Amino acid sequence: MQYTHLGRSGLKVSRLCLGTMNFGPHTDEADAHNIMDSALDAGINFFDTANVYGGSGHRGWTEDIIGRWFAKGGERRERTVLATKLYGTMTDRPNESKLSALNIRRALDASLKRLQTDYIDVYQFYHIDRDTPWDEIWQATEVAVQQGKILYSGSSNFAGWHIAQAQEAARRRNYTGLVSEQSIYNLFRREVELEVIPAAQQYGLGLIPWSPLQGGLLGGVLKKERGGVRRIEGRAAETLEKHRDQIQHFEDLADGLGHEPGDIALAWLLHQPAVTAPIVGPRTQEQLDAGIRALDVTLDADALKRLDDIFPGHRPAPEDYAW
C-alpha cells in the first residue's frame, strides 16, 4: 500500500479511502465487517463515513456497524484513520442539522457513541452552512479539539471561495482550519479543476474524490452490458445513452492498455497531483479487490493525454475561460 500526508498535515493516509455508505442499506453487517478487515489487511487505513449514512429512517446505521467492528478489538480502531461527517438532518428537531455550535457538539457526541470511540481523526463538514458564521464553527471545533474529541477538520462539497473563506477565518484565529476537501471528481466530472483544486492546493488541503467511477459509468458499463449484466438505471442510464460513444472510446482505450476500465479511472485520479485518496465504496469484497488493483496501474504521458482527449478537463480559472 502507498501512503501520503493528508494535505499539509502530518497525518499519513492510504492512497485509497474506504467509503462505507453502502454498509447497512446494501451490505449487511457481517459482510461489512469482512470488507473492513480485508481493507486493513490490504493496508487501507483511511475510512470515511457520515452520521446520516444508513438511509431514510435509519440514519446512524453505518456508524453503528463500524462501532461494533471497532468493539471486536484487534487494534481495529488504532489501525484506522477515521473520518466522519456532519451537516445532514438527523431528526425533525430544529437544531439537528447544519453547522451551528449546538449541532456540532451534539452530532459529534452522538457519532462518538455510535462509533464506540472517544475521538474522530478527521471531522468533516458535509456541506457549506450559509447561515452560520465561520467564527462560530471554528470556536465549536476548537473546543472539540481541546476536549480531545477530534484531531483534524475537513470539508466536503465546498466551492473554492468557501475554502478560502474558511481558511482565512481560521487564520484570524491562529487555527489550523481545514486539512482536506471531499469533492466529486472523476474523468466525467472535472469542474473542481476550475477553482476547488487551485484553492485546495493554495491552502494545503488534500483532495478526497468521491464517485470516482461516476456511478458505475466508468466501471466498464458497456462491457457489462454486452455480457448481459446491466445495473445502470435512472439518470445514469440517460447519461450513458448521451455519452455512449465517449464511454466506448474510453473502454477501448482501457482494453488497449490491458486493464479494466474502472482500474484506469481510479489510476487516473491517483495520477492527479492534488489527489490524496479516491473513495472506493464497495458493496462486496470483489469490488474492494477491484479498487485495490488500480494502485498497480501506471499511466504514461501518452495514456494521460488520450484520456484528456476523451474527457476534456479544465485549466484553472480564470485562464480556462478568459485567455
Angle between helices 134-146 and 101-115 (to 10 degrees): 40
Largest pairwise CA distance in the chain: 58
3-class DSSP state for residue 298? coil
Examine the pLDDT at 312 and tell me if it is beyond 70. yes
3-class DSSP state for residue 17? strand
**Residue 265, all three cell numbers:** 479511472
In tens, the pLDDT along 28-83 reads 999 999 999 999 999 999 999 999 999 988 999 999 999 999 999 999 999 999 99
Query: What is the CB neighbour count within 10 angstroms for residue 284?
Result: 14
List C-alpha distances in Å: 278 to 46, 124, 206. Answer: 10, 16, 11
Mean pLDDT of the chain: 96
What pLDDT does residue 237 have? 83
Looking at the whole model, is its pTM more than 0.85? yes
In tens, the pLDDT along 263-291 reads 999 999 999 999 999 999 999 999 999 99
CA–CA distance, 281 with 21 (Å, rounded to integer)? 7
Could you tell me the end-to-end alpha-carbon distance of the chain, in angstroms, rounded to an integer? Answer: 41
Q: What is the CA radius of gyration of the chain?
A: 20
What pLDDT does residue 231 have? 64
In tens, the pLDDT along 131-166 reads 999 999 999 999 999 999 999 999 999 999 999 999
In tens, the pLDDT along 198-217 reads 999 999 999 999 999 999 99
What pLDDT does residue 17 have? 98
Domains and CATH numbers, the chain: 3-219+262-301 (3.20.20.100)
Choosing from 53, 123, 126, 185, the catalytic residue is 53
pLDDT above 90 covers a percentage of the chain that reads 93
- Torsion, CA 99, CA 48, CA 114, CA 125, rounded to 10: 0
Q: Is residue 185 annotated as a catalytic residue, yes or no?
A: no
